[in-house]
């Protein structure tokens, strides 16, 4: 019969109860300038994301994922405008009514958007986590240093 290793011989991840507290990271300063290539939808999303995550996102490390998110919103808006102009149903190859082919791209774009929304805190659960972190970060940044 085997015995458990002594704590000094154990390797691997710490359990949740034993893991050290991680101080929230606060990023001071302004959000990055809106990239020039973004269209109306992407610009609005860029500003909204940086405002919603004020203090929680870093322009150095989070810029690319937020840029990708804004670009996907532009892509989605373009597809929806095309579908709006041409109609949701089109004539299929054999003359039957069919859903506009761009709807397939709208759906795949929305799938990518949902994945990024989870990563940047735009789902209810992720937003709650981010809100707690951002609120704690603002509180720590606002409180005087304890020296």
For 72, the domain range is 60-141
**Looking at the domain assignment, is residue 104 inside a domain?**
yes
**Looking at the domain assignment, is residue 35 inside a domain?**
no
CB 94 within 8 A of CB 114: no
The reply to whether the predicted model has a pTM over 0.75 is no
The number of folded domains in the chain is 1
CA 77 – CA 83 distance, rounded (Å) = 10
**Looking at the domain assignment, is residue 72 inside a domain?**
yes
Our CA dihedral for 53, 57, 59, 63, rounded to 10 degrees, sits at: -80
61-97 confidence digits (pLDDT tens): 899 999 999 999 999 999 999 999 999 999 999 999 9
**Looking at the domain assignment, is residue 4 inside a domain?**
no
CA 79 to chain centroid: 21
CA 63 – CA 55 distance, rounded (Å) = 13
16-65 confidence digits (pLDDT tens): 444 444 444 555 667 789 999 999 999 999 999 998 877 778 888 899 99
The single residue listed with the structure tokens 């373009």 is: 78
């Amino acid at each position: 019969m085997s015995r458990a290793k002594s704590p000094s011989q154990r390797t691997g991840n710490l359990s949740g109860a034993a893991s050290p507290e991680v101080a929230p990271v606060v990023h001071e300063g302004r959000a990055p300038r809106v990239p020039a290539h973004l269209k109306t939808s992407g610009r609005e999303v860029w500003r909204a994301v940086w405002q919603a995550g004020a203090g929680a996102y870093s322009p150095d490390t989070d810029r690319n994922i937020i840029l990708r998110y804004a670009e996907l919103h532009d892509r989605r808006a373009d597809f929806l405008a095309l579908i709006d102009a041409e109609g949701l149903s089109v004539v299929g190859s054999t003359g039957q009514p069919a859903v506009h082919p761009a709807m397939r791209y709208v759906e795949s774009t929305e799938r990518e958007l949902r994945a990024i929304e989870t990563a940047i805190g735009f789902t209810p659960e992720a937003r709650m986590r981010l809100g707690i972190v951002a609120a704690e970060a603002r509180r720590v940044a606002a409180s005087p240093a304890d020296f």
